[in-house]
Amino acid sequence: MSNLIVLGAQWGDEGKGKIVDLFSERFDIIARYQGGHNAGHTVYVGEQKYVLKLIPSGILRSGRVAVIGNGLVIDPVALMAEIEMLEELGVDVRGQLKISNRAHVIFPFHRMVERISEDSPEKAIGTTSRGIGPAYEDKIGRRGIRVADLLDRDNFKAHYTGNQQDKRKIAAAFGIPATDDDVLAKYAEIAEKMRPMVCDTAALFAAAIRAGKRIMLEGAQGTMLDVDHGTYPYVTSSSAASGGACTGTGIPPTKIHGVLGVSKAYITRVGGGPFPSEDLGERGEFIRKAGNEYGSVTGRPRRCGWFDVPLLRYTADVNGFDSLIITKLDVLDGLDQVPVCTGYKIDGKLVEEMPASQSALARIEPVFESLPGWSKPTAGITDFNKLPAEARGYLRFLEERTGVEIGCVSTGPERNQTMVVKGSRMEKLLGA
Ligand code: GDP
Ligand code: IMO
Ligand code: MG
């Protein structure tokens, strides 16, 4: 019986949605543990494309239970739009989805106050402008409104109005116009639609574990966007790293049996912040085109760069990766040489640890090594031994330098364009 965490090893958009959807066949419950509709997980099932934002990718497998854990921040309007989109495509969302009564609620006033920092070029993080950060601020500030409070008809109005008035004062002080009208009636209506799906999801997990069911925990964002371990302050406001899976669900660490990291064969980032292996030249543009690297939530072009070994070693340490899934290997098809960032220097000296201060992060000089590209394409290959020798060499190089097994490789967006490496630890964890 293995309960696994599958999460992003870089700055998000590693292909978690595709991988979670693929693996979900082997699990009974698939749960999200943090974030909100800042996430965009694209999944192809045959010709059909789904972009999941709040709902775990496991919803696409009939009979699986999909859980929105207590660690998320939920925009009820976005949630209903996503439910309706999936229902139109024939997914039994109301039969499969459970929502934590302890998750926090995003209101329009959260987006309103997000503008205070995001409208200022000096303070902007380049967020998704979904109200995520301000909702987590309210959670930690102990003034948030949780799903259980939203469903509490007698007390919701007073709770909401007090909070809204405070936010309006703050917005007015910064010259931001109020944009949060018509909320009470709309939210009350959506609350009734949500009510049948809301429950104590920690109790649901405890009962499932007692019954021997298998749970997969789906990370959103990536470790370098984690509020503690990422490139602070250019991060999201939640705990995307593996530790967040316990606090964000109520599943204890003793009931988690493995952690799988998802990483692209290169790397991307959306929004501001340090990016040591970024390629601002033609080859960066090549990756953006070949990998279709445009944000699935905001449509922004993703910044592109080369696989970063020091970053991956760091995220492997803070997450405890048992095995890595390398996605989008096919995007590098056609390159003569594939650069890899194998070290960091600051002020001309090699550094072993991930720097913490903003100024040190900004001063990282990447050290590159170059590996030969492959003569034949990898797109769609599903057997490790059938990959061109140079592509296998590239993967072996990443494995050696990061010190983590590569247990799965993805060579295209579809479910069947994937291979689990025979005899790997990943195969055991998935099969157990
Ligand atoms: P997530 O946020 O980690 O779920 O990743 P996104 O869905 O935002 O971005 C990954 C994109 O790459 C999606 O459009 C996927 O369909 C696509 N994708 C995933 N794996 C592969 C792969 O191996 N090759 C190619 N070419 N595309 C992939
Ligand atoms: P998935 O789950 C990539 C980035 C934003 C911004 C920073 C903070 O699809 O991998 P926020 O709105 O969260 O306060 O923005 O985090 N960001 C993501 N980047 N993938 C994501 O999710 C992201 N979610 C947030 O671009 O830099
Ligand atoms: Mg994404």
> Per-residue pLDDT averaged across 352-361, rounded?
96
State whether the beta carbon of 127 lies less than 6 angstroms from ligand 2: yes
Determine the Cα–Cα distance for residues 65 and 421; give it in Å rounded to an integer.
28
Residue in 21, 28, 37, 41 annotated catalytic: 41
The pLDDT value recorded for residue 59 is: 98
279 is catalytic: no
The pLDDT value recorded for residue 107 is: 98
Q: Kindly tell me if the per-residue pLDDT of 341 is higher than 60.
A: yes
State whether the beta carbon of 17 lies less than 6 angstroms from ligand 1: yes
Partners of residue 345 on adjacent β-strands: 350, 365
State whether the beta carbon of 221 lies less than 6 angstroms from ligand 1: no
Q: Kindly tell me if the per-residue pLDDT of 432 is higher than 80.
A: no
Shortest-distance ligand to the CA of residue 37: 2
The pLDDT value recorded for residue 298 is: 80
Indicate which atom in ligand 1 lies nearest the CA of residue 44.
Answer: 16
State whether the beta carbon of 38 lies less than 6 angstroms from ligand 2: yes
- The encoded tokens of residue 100 equal 């934590």
- More confident: 121 or 70: 70
Residue in 13, 279, 308, 330 annotated catalytic: 13
Closest protein CA for atom 11 of ligand 2: 127
Q: Kindly tell me if the per-residue pLDDT of 152 is higher than 90.
A: yes
The pLDDT value recorded for residue 179 is: 87
The pLDDT value recorded for residue 181 is: 85
Element (H, E) at 379: none
* 413 alpha carbon – ligand 1 mean position (Å): 6
- The encoded tokens of residue 280 equal 């601002």
Determine the Cα–Cα distance for residues 112 and 88; give it in Å rounded to an integer.
31
Instruction: Name the average pLDDT for the chain.
Output: 97
- More confident: 180 or 353: 353
State whether the beta carbon of 41 lies less than 6 angstroms from ligand 1: yes
Q: What is the dihedral of CA 208, 65, 16, 110, to 10 degrees?
A: -100
State whether the beta carbon of 258 lies less than 6 angstroms from ligand 1: no
Per cent of the chain over pLDDT 70 is 100
Where is average pLDDT lowest: 29-43, 183-197, 204-218, 291-305? Answer: 291-305
* 14 alpha carbon – ligand 1 mean position (Å): 6
Choosing from 6, 42, 52, 269 the residue with most ligand 1 atoms within 8 A of its CB, the one to mutate for a pocket test is: 42
> Per-residue pLDDT averaged across 161-177, rounded?
95
For 72-123, the pLDDT digits (tens) are: 999 999 999 999 999 999 999 999 999 999 999 999 999 999 999 999 999 9
pTM across the whole model: 0.98
41 is catalytic: yes
For 26-59, the pLDDT digits (tens) are: 999 999 999 999 999 999 999 999 999 999 999 9
State whether the beta carbon of 330 lies less than 6 angstroms from ligand 1: yes
Instruction: Identify the residue whose tokens are 């999201």.
Output: 236
Shortest-distance ligand to the CA of residue 332: 1
* 134 alpha carbon – ligand 1 mean position (Å): 28
* 39 alpha carbon – ligand 3 mean position (Å): 5
Residues with CB under 5 A from ligand 3 (ion): 13, 40
Whether residue 199 contacts residue 99, with contact meaning beta carbons closer than 8 Å, is answered with yes
Q: Residues with Cβ < 8 Å from 279, sequence gap 6 or more?
A: 287, 304, 305, 306, 339
> Per-residue pLDDT averaged across 322-333, rounded?
98
State whether the beta carbon of 328 lies less than 6 angstroms from ligand 1: yes
- With b for 16 or more beta-carbon neighbours within 10 A and e for fewer, the 152-177 pattern comes to eeeebeebbeebbeebbeebeeeebe
Whether residue 36 contacts residue 73, with contact meaning beta carbons closer than 8 Å, is answered with yes
Whether residue 250 contacts residue 205, with contact meaning beta carbons closer than 8 Å, is answered with yes
Q: CA–CA distance from 146 to each of 232, 276, 383, 400 (Å)?
A: 26, 38, 47, 45
Q: Is the peptide bond before 233 cis (omega within 30 degrees of 0)?
A: yes
Indicate which atom in ligand 2 lies nearest the CA of residue 270.
Answer: 26
